[in-house]
Copies of this chain bind each other. A is one copy, B any other.
Amino acid sequence: RASTMERAIEAEEYLTHAPVSLLRTGIDTEDTMRAKFEKVIRNAQDSICSAIEEIDGKKFHQDAWTRPGGGGGISRVLQDGNVWEKAGVNVSVVYGSMPPEAYRAATGKAEVLTKGADAGRVPFFAAGISSVMHPRNPHCPTMHFNYRYFETEEWNGIPGQWWFGGGTDITPCYVVEEDMKHFHGTYKQVCDRHDPAYYPKFKKWCDEYFRTRALRAGHAVRIRKMIKHRGETRGLGGIFFDDLNDKDPETILKFSTDAVNHVVPAYCPIVQKHMNDAFTPEEKQWQQVRRGRYVEFNLVYDRGTTFGLKTGGRIESILMSMPLTASWLYDHQPAAGSKEAELLDATRNARNWV
0/1 interface trace, chain A 122-165, chain B, CB 8 Å (1 if under):
00000000000000000000000000000000000000000000
The smallest C-beta distance from A352 to any residue of chain B, in angstroms, reads 24
> Which residues of A (36-71) have their CB < 8 Å from a CB of B?
61, 63
Complex interface: chain B residues within 8 A of A222 (CB):
2
Contact residue among B228, B315, B325 (Cβ-Cβ distance under 8 Å from A325): B325
> Which residues of A (292-351) have their CB < 8 Å from a CB of B?
292, 295-296, 299-300, 309, 315-316, 318-320, 322-331
Given contacts A222-B2, A295-B299, contact A324 B316 (CB under 8 A): no
Q: Is the CB of A326 within 8 A of B329?
A: no
What residue of chain B has the Cβ atom nearest to residue A227's Cβ?
Answer: B315
Q: Is the CB of B325 within 8 A of A229?
A: no
What residue of chain B has the Cβ atom nearest to residue A77's Cβ?
Answer: B330
Q: Is the CB of B9 within 8 A of A315?
A: no
Q: Is the CB of B299 within 8 A of A330?
A: no
Given contacts A9-B229, A325-B325, contact A331 B309 (CB under 8 A): no
Give the complex CA separation of A229 and B309 in angstroms. Answer: 6
Bin chain A's interface residue count. Answer: 35 or more
Question: Per DSSP, are chain A's interface residues mostly helix, strand or loop, or mixed?
Answer: mixed
The smallest C-beta distance from A229 to any residue of chain B, in angstroms, reads 5
Complex interface: chain B residues within 8 A of A9 (CB):
228-229
Give the complex CA separation of A156 and B229 in angstroms. Answer: 28
Give the complex CA separation of A171 and B188 in angstroms. Answer: 49
What residue of chain B has the Cβ atom nearest to residue A79's Cβ?
Answer: B330
Complex interface: chain B residues within 8 A of A228 (CB):
5, 9, 309
Complex interface: chain B residues within 8 A of A327 (CB):
324-326
Interchain residue pairs with CB less than 8 A apart (30)? A2-B222, A9-B229, A61-B330, A63-B331, A77-B330, A77-B331, A79-B330, A86-B330, A228-B309, A229-B309, A229-B318, A230-B315, A288-B325, A295-B326, A296-B319, A299-B300, A300-B300, A300-B309, A316-B331, A319-B328, A323-B328, A324-B327, A324-B328, A324-B329, A325-B325, A325-B326, A325-B327, A326-B326, A326-B327, A326-B328
Q: Ordered nearest first, which 4 A-B pairs have the shortest CB separation?
A: A322-B328, A299-B299, A316-B331, A77-B330
